[in-house]
């Protein structure tokens, strides 16, 4: 089980390797939201998303002689790049299982970071089954994307930073909106905040139609999404919350929020214009909730985790064209 001690240990291992990402703001965004908006820019993390934290945490926690045989991950892209880069920095091989329809750029980047990429067909193949077979055959250590205590602990290091940075800004009571897929980041941050900033409340944000976490929190039990795993916000389309992450979120998180694809694109355009950062759709849903659902948020300030920036240029151009200044 992930605890504060595990998060602190992960943060210690991440020192000098992960970036302490800045907390950004703009008076123009404050005006739209009707309150102060503080944006934790995890898109500026190595490999362009918070996933490097969990990847490094998990890879560095594997005993050296086991790690030398290599690690394995399945991911639509951001966890893939995070684990690939962490493995490369540790000098060990990485095999990454990716859906064949993942953004081309994420596949190319994962290969360029030294990993062997194995593609599978969503809906037809089980990535978990492929992963377990390869792990057995080659002696690889599987690094699960979120249902893995050391991954949750690594993502939790982001929460430790938020607690410190919010205090430096004089913010002790606020909702912390977090783009949520399987819940690794949301649960890790929630655990860190529970200990270090109990007035800050983690809340997952998802795309409409893929709000499995919000519905699970409302129901008090895990609920799955009805449909396929394809959509604009590819980075955070998971079938349901994790077995490890859900109990943490159920205990600590406020209600979930959901935004439309159009709102995610609009938030990308505003992050470009006002913060000078690049967000991908799945990394922009929390900012979209802060800007366009102000009535669903509590307090004078809101903290947003902008989780990833691995946007396809075409999608980014679409956001800028559809939402001019």
Instruction: For residues 41 and 275, give the distance between their C-alpha atoms in angstroms, rounded to a whole number.
Output: 9
CA 283: distance to chain centroid?
Answer: 7
Cβ proximity to a second copy, 149 vs 309, nearer residue: 309
Task: Give the shortest CB-22-to-a second copy separation in angstroms.
Answer: 6
Task: Give the shortest CB-247-to-a second copy separation in angstroms.
Answer: 33
Q: Which of 17, 19, 122, 293 binds a second copy (CB under 8 A)?
A: 19
DSSP H or E segment with residue 174: strand 174-179
Task: Give the shortest CB-248-to-a second copy separation in angstroms.
Answer: 28
Task: Give the shortest CB-37-to-a second copy separation in angstroms.
Answer: 14
Strands 23-24 and 36-41: antiparallel
Q: Select the span of 43-51, 55-63, 123-131, 204-212 touching a second copy (CB under 8 A).
A: 43-51
- State yes or no: residue 91 binds a second copy (CB under 8 A): no
Strands 71-74 and 141-142: parallel
Task: Give the shortest CB-181-to-a second copy separation in angstroms.
Answer: 19
- State yes or no: residue 320 binds a second copy (CB under 8 A): yes
- State yes or no: residue 77 binds a second copy (CB under 8 A): no
- State yes or no: residue 32 binds a second copy (CB under 8 A): no
Contact 245, 184 (CB under 8 A): yes
- State yes or no: residue 303 binds a second copy (CB under 8 A): no
Instruction: For residues 1 and 14, give the distance between their C-alpha atoms in angstroms, rounded to a whole number.
Output: 19
Which residues in 230-269 contact a second copy (CB under 8 A)? Answer: 269
Number of residues that bind a second copy (CB under 8 A): 34
Angle at CA 87, nearest 5°, toward 105 and 158?
80
Instruction: For residues 20 and 40, give the distance between their C-alpha atoms in angstroms, rounded to a whole number.
Output: 10
Angle at CA 176, nearest 5°, toward 171 and 181?
160
Residue 314, Cβ density class (10 Å: 0-12 exposed, 13-18 middle, ≥19 buried): exposed
- State yes or no: residue 93 binds a second copy (CB under 8 A): no
Contact 40, 305 (CB under 8 A): yes
Cβ proximity to a second copy, 66 vs 105, nearer residue: 105
Instruction: For residues 167 and 321, give the distance between their C-alpha atoms in angstroms, rounded to a whole number.
Output: 37
Query: In the beta sheet, which residues pair with residue 203?
Result: 177
Which residues in 99-118 contact a second copy (CB under 8 A)? Answer: 105, 108-109, 112-113
Q: Which of 29, 48, 242, 288 binds a second copy (CB under 8 A)?
A: 48
Task: Give the shortest CB-13-to-a second copy separation in angstroms.
Answer: 18
- State yes or no: residue 213 binds a second copy (CB under 8 A): no
Buried b (16+ CB within 10 A) or exposed e, 110-127: beebebebeebeeeeeeb
SS3 37: strand
Q: Select the span of 53-61, 91-99, 255-263, 306-314 touching a second copy (CB under 8 A).
A: 306-314
- State yes or no: residue 275 binds a second copy (CB under 8 A): yes
**Interacting residues toward a second copy by CB under 8 A:** 19-22, 24, 27-28, 41, 43-44, 48, 85, 105, 108-109, 112-113, 269, 272-273, 275-279, 309-310, 313, 316-317, 320-321, 324-325
């Amino acid at each position: 089980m992930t605890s504060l001690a595990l998060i602190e240990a992960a943060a210690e291992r991440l020192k000098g390797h992960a970036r302490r990402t800045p907390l950004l703001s703009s008076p123009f965004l404050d005006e739209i939201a009707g309150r102060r908006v503080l944006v934790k820019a995890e898109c500026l993390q190595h490999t362009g998303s918070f996933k490097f934290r969990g990847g490094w945490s998990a890879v560095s926690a594997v005993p050296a002689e086991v790690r030398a045989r290599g690690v394995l991950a399945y991911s639509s892209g951001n966890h893939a790049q995070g684990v690939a880069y962490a493995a490369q920095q540790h000098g060990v091989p990485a095999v990454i299982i990716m859906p064949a329809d993942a953004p081309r750029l994420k596949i190319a980047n994962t290969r360029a970071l030294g990993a062997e990429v194995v593609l599978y067909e969503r809906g037809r193949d089980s990535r978990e089954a492929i992963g377990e077979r390869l792990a057995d055959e080659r002696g690889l250590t599987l690094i699960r994307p979120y249902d893995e205590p050391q991954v949750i602990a690594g993502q939790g290091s982001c929460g430790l930073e938020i607690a410190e940075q919010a205090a430096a800004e004089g913010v002790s009571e606020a909702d912390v909106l977090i783009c949520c897929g399987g819940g690794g980041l949301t649960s890790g941050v929630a655990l860190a905040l529970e200990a270090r900033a109990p007035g800050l409340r983690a809340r997952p944000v998802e795309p409409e139609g893929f709000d499995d976490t919000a519905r699970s929190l409302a129901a008090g039990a895990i609920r799955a999404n009805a449909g396929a795993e394809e959509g604009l916000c590819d980075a955070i389309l998971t079938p349901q919350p994790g077995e490890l992450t859900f109990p943490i979120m159920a205990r600590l998180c406020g209600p979930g929020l959901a935004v439309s694809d159009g709102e995610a694109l609009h938030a990308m355009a505003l992050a470009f214009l006002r913060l000078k950062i690049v967000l991908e759709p799945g990394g922009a849903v929390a900012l979209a909730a802060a800007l366009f659902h102000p009535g669903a948020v509590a307090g004078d300030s809101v903290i947003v985790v902008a989780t990833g920036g691995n946007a396809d240029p075409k999608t980014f151009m679409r956001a800028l064209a559809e939402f001019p200044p």
